[in-house]
Amino acid sequence: MLAVFALVAATIHKFTSSSYHAIIRNTGNIAWYLAIFLLVYAIFFLSGWLSDRSNAIRNLKAKLEKAFNHQFSVWIHRLNFVVIGLIWLHVNVIPRIANISYFLIVFDIYTLVFITAYAYQKFISDADMRNSGTVKENIPLTPNIQKFTIDLNKTAKPYHAGDFYFVSFRGKGISSEAHPFSVMTRPSKHEVGFIIHQVGDFTKKITHVSPGTKVHLDGPYGLFNSEVEETNGPVILYAIGTGIAPLISLAEEYARKKALHIIWSTSSSEDYFNLRLDQLEQNGVKVDKKQHRFSDEELNTILTNEEKANGKFFIVGSAPIILTVKEKLKQLGIKDSNLIDEHLTM
């Protein structure tokens, strides 16, 4: 949204100002057109604003991503630095601005600080392997779902159930760009595990990552653990497909401590968590699992009146289905403020 507001401000500036100096006019115009292109590209390929809400756009995006894959999109996104450079030059060559020395000094310092902060994050912080590990296990659970376990370094930051990391690999055959994955294991100082659904060009290459590969971990991040900890009423963990991963770790962490209810809607007869679900049921966790989606009537039946009135819902899955699930739950009288979601991407 910040980019949208910035572009609106730039558009107002463009149509309310003019210059006869070619370098001023051209740097401003090129930066403006390039910013529009990058914003449209990001909305279509890098976010779910449109594709999460339209099947036609989602299908078109899937076809185009065969050519405009994630790695290509990363390089397109880096054109933002060209925009920054053009804007910096545009401002510095305007005579009436250049004469206001204190403004120009502040502007140049701000630009330098921004670029320095990015460079630090990209080349120093990301290169710091203290928060890292080594691939211990990489095995298929189904033809398109991979179980991934990482042995953590002694200096790795502790994580909570339900957290996620931005994971990047330091090996051949796969991009070193960081991607978000949710934790599927109970907190441990020694290892962390993930369930990865092979849906994008990056995740489809996960099978090529061999044990022993170095892994950098940016994180952990997430609010699920603190939200569950602070909840006094029922906790409903609604999983869609591989969205079960972070939620089952939460369930194992808070079994016998909270009134927990797992609802798992799967697209196939996935059974890779059956043993863990059975153990959770033995520990007092209510579990409802179904192949394909739950209907309105089924949800109304499996949810108690107490859960509908006072329950806190944690929903994890693909964005389009989450939107549908949230609408169904709201139709059952559940408050929007009690619905917390996390979208699975990539």
Q: What tens digit of pLDDT does each residue of 239-253 get?
A: 998 888 899 999 999
Instruction: List all residues 6 or more positions away from 10 whose beta carbon is below 8 Å from its beta carbon.
Output: 31, 32, 35
Percent of the chain with pLDDT strictly greater than 90 = 42
- The pLDDT tens digits of the residues spanning 202-217 come to 777 788 888 899 999 9
306: confidence class by pLDDT, cuts 50, 70, 90: very high
319: confidence class by pLDDT, cuts 50, 70, 90: confident
- Whether pLDDT at 70 is above 80: no
302: confidence class by pLDDT, cuts 50, 70, 90: very high
Read off φ and ψ for residue 234, nearest 5 degrees. -65, 150
Q: What is the mean pLDDT of the chain?
A: 86
- Whether pLDDT at 59 is above 60: yes
- Whether pLDDT at 69 is above 80: no
Q: Domains in the chain and their CATH numbers?
A: 2-93 (no CATH), 132-221 (2.40.30.10), 232-344 (3.40.50.80)
- Whether pLDDT at 223 is above 60: yes
Instruction: List all residues 6 or more positions away from 179 whose beta carbon is below 8 Å from its beta carbon.
Output: 166, 167, 168, 202, 203, 346
Burial 270-293 (b: 16+ CB within 10 A, else e): beebeeebeebeeeebbbbbeeee
Q: What is the pTM of this model?
A: 0.74
Read off φ and ψ for residue 73, nearest 5 degrees. -65, -35
Q: Which residues pair with 341 in a beta bridge?
A: 315
